[in-house]
Amino acid sequence: MTVKTTLRAGAATPAGARRERHRSRSNLRGWVFAWPTALFVIVLFVVPLLLVLRMSASHWPLLSGDQGFNFPSNYRKTVSNRFFVESVTFTLKYTLLATVLLIVLGLGLALLVQESTHWKGLLRTSFLVPSALGLASASLLFYVLYSPLAGPFATMMNRLGWTFLGSPDAALASTLFLIVWRYAGFYMLLMLVGLQAIPTQIYEAARMDGSGRWNTFRRITIPLLRPTLALTIILCVTGSLLAFEQFYILTKGGPDNSTITVVQLIYSMAFQGQNDLGVAGALSVLVLLALVAINAVQLRAFRGSEDK
């Protein structure tokens, strides 16, 4: 920094030199406030990111630590893990279903409570309250709610001989219901913010032109809501691809290992049984790459459709 300043000062006019010197002083002052952020970002984000790359290329058992370079053995082991294909397929299926459900229901709820009346304010609050709970708390709550022994539907379930978590399909559907309950209000809120940004004059003009409700929704609301839809879809896809708590607590990956997500697989590779941080690191790196790629594709798709 000092070198740069003297170089420039030498070339510039005296006034320019003074300005440069002034700027260099504020340079230092900025770091007086920025260093804690830099410390956190470097030590707890950049360094771990580099470390996981190294771990993924090393034989690294949980207890004995680094045992030396072994690339690409961990990656080969990850891909040939007997749950790898299953968990990737399941995670993608879950992501697709959760995203469609949350975006459609979030938008539906937002349209339902858009006006500001007392009743709609109450509705908004009751849809939002579950979002204050942690996902782990919500999963524990539904674990009891779905229980064939203690839940409110226990008698009904015993009579029908059906359980919420008994079959793979039922377990997935029950988890999706929990996720909708926990997150629909959150997505409603994002949609409401987006809806508010649409100028009211446009709606008025559409009404003057005799546009019906459905037509207005399809031709005006949806196109103008596109930035919000893009944001919410990216958020929802990212969150769902990384799903963990809901399955770890509610279904424990069952029944018959039918609900194992990728993050659950990372966790079990590292800390349950296999105890291999190298293999878990390799899968973590693959997930990171997949996420970056998927988000890049989504951003490009949304940007592309905006240009049209």
Partner 1 sequence: MTTTTPRRALDGGPRANPARRSTPSTTLAGVALRTPFWVFSGALAVIFLFPLVWTSVASVSPHPGTGQVDGWGFGNYVTLAHYQAGIGQYLTNSGIVSGLTVVLTLLVSTLGGYAFARFRFPGRNLLFMLTLAILMVPYATLLIPLYVLLSKFGLQNSLVGVALVLTMFQLPFSTFMMRISFESVPRELDDAAMVDGCSAFTALWRVLLPAVRPGLITVGLFAFLAAWNDFLAPLILINDTNRMTLPLAVSNLRVQVQGVIDYGATEAGVVVLALPCILLFLVLQRHYVRGFMSGALKG
Nearer to partner 1, 65 or 223 (CB): 65
CB 176 → partner 1: shortest distance, Å? 14
Distance CA 56, CA 190 (A): 37
* Coil vs helix vs strand at 69: strand
CB of 134 to partner 1, least distance (A): 2
Q: What proportions of the chain, in percent to the nearest 5, are helix, strand and coil? A: 75, 0, 20
- Contact (CB, 8 A) for 36 and 20: no
**Does the CA dihedral 140-231-196-211 come out positive or negative?**
negative
* Nearest distance in Å: CB 245, partner 1: 5
- C-beta separation of 268 from 274 below 8 A: yes
CA dihedral over 247, 249, 250, 251, signed as positive or negative: positive
Least distance to partner 1, CB of residue 63, Å: 11
Tell me how far, at minimum, the Cβ of 279 lies from partner 1, in Å: 10
Smallest separation (angstroms) from partner 1 to the CB of 265? 10
Residue number with CB closer to partner 1 (12 or 47): 47
* 11/289 with CB nearer partner 1: 289
Q: Which tokens belong to 127? A: 């849809």
Residue (138 or 172) nearer to partner 1, CB? 138
- Residue 58's φ and ψ, nearest 5 degrees, are -130, 155
Q: How far is the CB of 137 from partner 1 (least distance, A)?
A: 4
State the CB neighbour count (10 A cutoff) for residue 190: 19
Nearer to partner 1, 172 or 276 (CB): 276
Does 72 sit behind a cis peptide bond, omega within 30 degrees of 0 on the bond before it? Answer: yes
Burial of residue 256 (CB within 10 Å: 0-12, 13-18, 19+) is: exposed
Question: Closer to partner 1 at the Cβ: 172 or 287?
Answer: 287
Report in angstroms the alpha-carbon separations of 107 from 100, 190, 255: 11, 9, 32
Nearer to partner 1, 40 or 162 (CB): 40
State which residue, 260 or 285, has the beta carbon closest to partner 1. Answer: 285
Phi, psi for 160 (deg, rounded to 5): -85, -15
**Residue among 284, 112, 100 nearest 192 (CA):** 112
In the complex, the smallest distance separating the C-beta of residue 1 from partner 1, rounded to whole angstroms, is: 6
CA distance linking residue 73 with residue 279, whole number of Å: 8
